[in-house]
Structure 1
């Protein structure tokens, strides 16, 4: 999953994606641990990937740099 895709987004599309990422992050953070399909390390890695993608969308100037996801 290291392939790069360049996508041009309108400000509205970017804001919708950011809102969705916040929802996904909150959902994963509040998920019951005993029912989670992820162990703690996998969960932390997934949250880090969500954070990186969110940062990339919030800082358009950083979009010229490759994301390490």
Structure 2
């Protein structure tokens, strides 16, 4: 994520985006876990990226919503 993209969101848009990210995170966490290490590592990286996005969105709004890993 080296390129920055600036986007202005309303509180409602931000909340919808965070809710969607949480859904994606939950879906990714619930996938079958009998996978090779490479796929498990990719899942870990994706979950980390999602967590960072949610934290950035919460930081921009001045809210501090805990994100479970």
TM-score by length of 2: 0.77
- Residue 23 of structure 2 corresponds to 23
Q: SS of 1:33's equivalent?
A: coil
- Residue 55 of structure 1 corresponds to 55
Structure 2: runs of 5+ lacking an equivalent:
63-69
* More contact order relative to length (CA 8 Å, sep ≥ 6): 1
Q: Which structure has more helix as a fraction of its residues?
A: 1
Say how many residue pairs are matched.
61
- Moved segments of 4+, more than 3 Å: none
- Residue 3 of structure 1 corresponds to 3
CA-based RMSD = 2.1
Structure 1 distance, partners of 2:21, 2:39, is 21
